[in-house]
């Protein structure tokens, strides 16, 4: 993978802007395969935001989604998601 544009990302200030995320610069990567050729996965950006990316594009995701994705795919949770992981598993 490589660079993806996330359009209309809303910052804390409420201003909408586009953001480019680069999977090669992610600080953490948890990838799986979609079929035989498409790699997809969850990434942690260099600015600490989780995003999901595949060949079609990328989107920022909540910590709740990131936690569920990692648990579903049997990955160990990073420290910032461990407490949330205790809450979402039933």
- Token readout for 67 is 């936690």
In 3D space, the residue among 65, 58, 66 whose CA is nearest the CA of residue 18 turns out to be: 58
pLDDT tens-digit readout, 19-75: 888 888 999 999 887 555 567 899 999 999 999 998 888 999 999 999 999 999 999
pTM of the model: 0.80
């Amino acid at each position: 993978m490589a660079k993806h544009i996330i359009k209309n990302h809303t910052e804390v200030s409420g201003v909408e802007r586009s953001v480019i995320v680069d999977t090669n610069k992610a600080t953490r990567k948890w990838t799986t395969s979609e079929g035989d050729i498409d790699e997809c996965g969850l990434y942690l950006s260099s600015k600490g935001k989780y995003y999901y990316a595949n060949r079609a594009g990328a989107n920022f995701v909540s910590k709740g989604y990131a936690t569920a994705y990692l648990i579903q795919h049997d990955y160990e949770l990073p420290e910032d998601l461990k407490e949330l992981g205790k809450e979402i598993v039933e």
